[in-house]
Amino acid sequence: MEFNIAMTDELLATTRAVRKRLDLDRPVPRSVIKDCLELAVQAPTGSNSQTWRWLVVEEADKKQALADLYRRAASDYLAAAGEAAAERGDVQTKRVMGSALYLAEHLQDVPVHLIPCIAGRPPADTPPAMMAGFYGSIFPAVWSFQLALRARGLGSALTTLHLVHEKEAADLLGIPDDVLQVALLPVAYTRGTDFKRAERPPVEDIIHWNQW
């Protein structure tokens, strides 16, 4: 198959973190989640480990409990980060933080929560700088899931703030101790699909050719 470069570029450039424009009223069929996860697990993994596992939460009481737990971790942090961004004149980040606060308030109402997991928890004394192979074997798949959603008119956002209460979330959902949660993604149809490219500084400023 020949790829249409303009279309693939549009997909990669306009798959945003969607929070305020998640449609809280439109149900998400399981078949859509399954189709997008089938595409997700086509991504490569280190040493072909394929240790990804996917927890999909649709039940209202569990989403409510996850949202409560998320807000406990997130609200103070997001408000402070928003204020700090405003003080240094970073309008884009201030807007992102406002959007993230909106999500925290409405998380229980999002049709689906996806919690990507890894079967096999890393030893607690692993240096953080040696975790690239581990997380590099799950986040490409997570991003593929988000891109597959985008092509189908849905949106999501990669959040990790609930992980400070990972054990509580595990108890709520029956996740075994040796399984590591890596994120929580709200998933919904989007209100409209006309998402734009993000404003970014010139990429040349952050590329180093041959030498830092």
Task: Show the tokens assigned to 24.
Answer: 């809280």
The stretch near a copy of itself (CB under 8 A) out of 21-29, 58-66, 102-110 is 58-66
- Give yes or no for residue 64 binding a copy of itself (CB under 8 A): no
The stretch near a copy of itself (CB under 8 A) out of 21-29, 50-58, 64-72, 103-111 is 50-58
Task: Show the tokens assigned to 76.
Answer: 């103070």
Q: b/e per residue, 67-98, with b = 16+ CB within 10 A?
A: bebbbebbeeebeebbeebeeeeeeeebebbb
Q: Please name the residues in contact with 93: beta carbons below 8 A apart, sequence gap of 6 or more.
A: 81, 82, 85
The binder of a copy of itself chosen from 44, 83, 105, 120 (CB under 8 A): 44
**Footprint of a copy of itself on residues 102-161 (CB under 8 A)?**
121-124, 126-136, 139-140, 142-144, 146-148, 150-152, 157-158, 160-161
Number of residues that bind a copy of itself (CB under 8 A): 100
Which of 74, 71, 79 is closest to 98 using CA atoms?
A: 79
- Give yes or no for residue 56 binding a copy of itself (CB under 8 A): yes
The binder of a copy of itself chosen from 53, 106, 165, 191 (CB under 8 A): 53
The stretch near a copy of itself (CB under 8 A) out of 10-18, 21-29, 65-73, 102-110 is 10-18
Task: Show the tokens assigned to 52.
Answer: 């990804």
